[in-house]
Amino acid sequence: MSKRNKAQRLEVVLEIAKILKRFPTAALGDYFGKEEYINYYDSKYEAIDKIKKEFDYYINQDDKNVKMLVGVSGKIPFPEIEKYIEYVLPIRVNQQSHFVFRTTEKDTDVKYVKVNEDVF
């Protein structure tokens, strides 16, 4: 099975970034009294900074060492909007990427996984 090259990995991330920068932070709008959108390029949210690091790692893997290319996945808490980001950035060409905001369940002990944290 074929692995994605750097250009293909960049394409996956750019598609997600286009959607992400238009995502309204409705909970913050209610809190601050105005509707606000995530500024992906100048973020004040730790969750966005973390996902950008994951994107950077995913894109900038060395294509020369094909055996070491890996997909990236995990969950990142986004407490400001009471959600978490769940993502899968696959390395195989035949696999689909996955990026969603999920509601945080306050009544359960939700564990968050930070994939590749040791790399950063």
Domain ranges of the chain: 6-119
What is the mean predicted confidence (pLDDT) over 74-95? 91
Which residue has better confidence, 68 or 81? Answer: 68
The tokens describing 68, both together, are 């070491």
Handedness of CA 38, 58, 83, 49 (dihedral sign): negative
Report helix angle 46-59 to 6-20, nearest 10: 160
pLDDT of amino acid 80: 80
CB 14 within 8 A of CB 20: no
What is the mean predicted confidence (pLDDT) over 71-100? 92
pLDDT of amino acid 17: 86
Helix (H) or strand (E) holding 1: none
- C-alpha to C-alpha distance for 92 and 75, rounded to whole angstroms: 20
CB 85 within 8 A of CB 99: yes
Transcribe 88-112 into DSSP letters: EE-SBTTS--EEEEEE--TTS----
Which residue has better confidence, 117 or 57? Answer: 57
Q: What amino acid is encoded at 28 in this protein?
A: L
Statement: residue 23 has pLDDT above 80: no
Sheet of 83-89, strand order? 72-78, 83-89, 98-103
Q: What is the reported pTM?
A: 0.75
